[in-house]
Amino acid sequence: MTVIDANRMHEIETRYPEYFHQSFRQRFGGLMILIATLLYSLYAAWFFDLPKLFAEAHWERVGIYLSQWVSYDVQPEFRIGDDGSIDIRYPRFSPLGDNPNPDWLVNNPDGSITVSISGTSRTVTVSKSETIVTAYGVSVPVDVFGGAPKVVGPVPGWMTVYDDNVLADLGFAGNVSISVDRVKIRKRFIGWANFVFDTQSSFFDKPVGEVVSLIVSGPRIKPDQSNLSLAFDDIWNNSEWQHGDVWTKLFQTIVMAFLGTLLGALTAFPLAFLAARNITPNRLLNQILKRFFDFLRSVDMLIWALFLTRAFGPGPLAGSGAIFLTETGTLGKLYSEGLENIDNKPREGIKSTGAQTVLVHRYGIMPQIVPVFVSQTLYQWESNVRGATIIGAVGAGGIGLKLWEAMRTNANWENVAYMVILILIVVFIFDTASNALRHRLMGTKTH
């Protein structure tokens, strides 16, 4: 065991005073930050009334929306006539087309109709006097003969009785609404209905092998058009998924981001030389341009888009203009700060030879800043692909407007999922390409 005497202790204390004579901030700074964070969290919870917000939130809608992203439903309606006949009707734009004949709907010999909601475990049998709902291991008859529908026997937890309606919730598989003269069924299927060919297409509801055979060597469906061309037209002009319009709007979004970023970079580049103090020794001009950059980037891209859509009308021109104004401010600031941090020795060396200002900039400044500038511009371009989607929702064109229209109906969530996936793929591709280019320009390796 080593014993340290008083002289040795005093020597160590003198050599390392920062460990023995800490200020109040150094000793209690971490604790104070922790306490301040906790107090702020409590204040935020009180200010936003988070307990009430979480208690009153409709969490069940999350599952509903997510299920609608990956599935579709068919809604047959059974109308019971006074003579006991049962008339089957489908919505006007049913995924099954104009002449549906699904195999999950069976006409029984006694005149009743059985609908399989989910295999044999969840079924609905509709007759003129009652509807029998089988689910969760029990069969529940609902009397619909005269007066309001009435559940025969105990009412299970998954069934709700109203004054003139009985609703049976069968989970993800669907639900059943029973009234006196009609039974409406919602049957859910995994997947996206009619994603390739809609119900109006000549190829609708045909097996894949038959479609391929028709396209390759089959007789022409339309005498004046090849089957391959007809298939492409049917896919591109799919009325339910609108592939042509979606992809056109997606391309508009990419062009908006590219054009706005390019124009912003071209405008910001020369202005940055005038704003940099070490390049242009004019204090007034430096400050005016820097405040101009601050103004352009302090107004959000979304606000610029709102202004420009009022000025030029909705469309990609307003979107490109909004990105251009924002990027002029952002890139102008980044470029000018990059110029102010360059190494002045190469510049001074070239200037000492008597070279003109243009040559000094070309050989003394450009080699230092080009990789950084291009890297920053690529990053902004990648970011603007996402930004262009947002501003499209306010009328600035592109896929953002299309996405907002699908969300606003509150019924086309599978179309929303389709466009979101396309946006994610585009952002991933641009992110990967941008990172590769940046690493190549900066001379670093990707991992």
Q: Would you kindly state where each structural domain of the chain is located, as residue ranges?
A: 6-47, 75-190, 243-442
Looking at residue 49, its amino acid is D
pLDDT at site 284: 92
d(CA 265, CA 259): 10
Phi, psi of 37 (to 5 degrees): -65, -45
Dig out the tokens for 188 from the structure: 């859910």
C-beta of residue 277 within 8 angstroms of C-beta of residue 340 = yes
- Give residues with Cβ within 8 angstroms of 26, minimum separation 6: none
- Using DSSP's 3-state secondary structure scheme, residue 140 falls into strand
pLDDT at site 445: 58
pTM of the model: 0.79
pLDDT at site 417: 92
d(CA 286, CA 302): 28
| DSSP bridge pairs for 174 | 187
Give the angle subtended at the CA of 50 by the CAs of 44 and 56, to the nearest 5°.
165
Dig out the tokens for 394 from the structure: 């306010």
CATH fold of the domain at 243-442? MetI-like fold (1.10.3720)
Dig out the tokens for 30 from the structure: 């971490």
pLDDT at site 3: 61
d(CA 337, CA 372): 11
pLDDT at site 122: 92
Dig out the tokens for 214 from the structure: 């028709």
pLDDT at site 189: 92
d(CA 387, CA 89): 44
Mean pLDDT, the chain cut into blocks of 10 residues (447 residues total): 64 66 72 92 89 84 83 91 85 84 89 90 90 92 83 91 91 90 92 91 90 89 90 92 92 91 93 88 90 91 89 85 93 90 77 76 77 85 86 82 84 88 89 80 60
Q: Are strands 166-169 and 159-161 parallel, antiparallel or unpaired?
A: antiparallel
- Give residues with Cβ within 8 angstroms of 181, minimum separation 6: 79, 80, 144
Phi, psi of 175 (to 5 degrees): -155, 170
pLDDT at site 442: 65
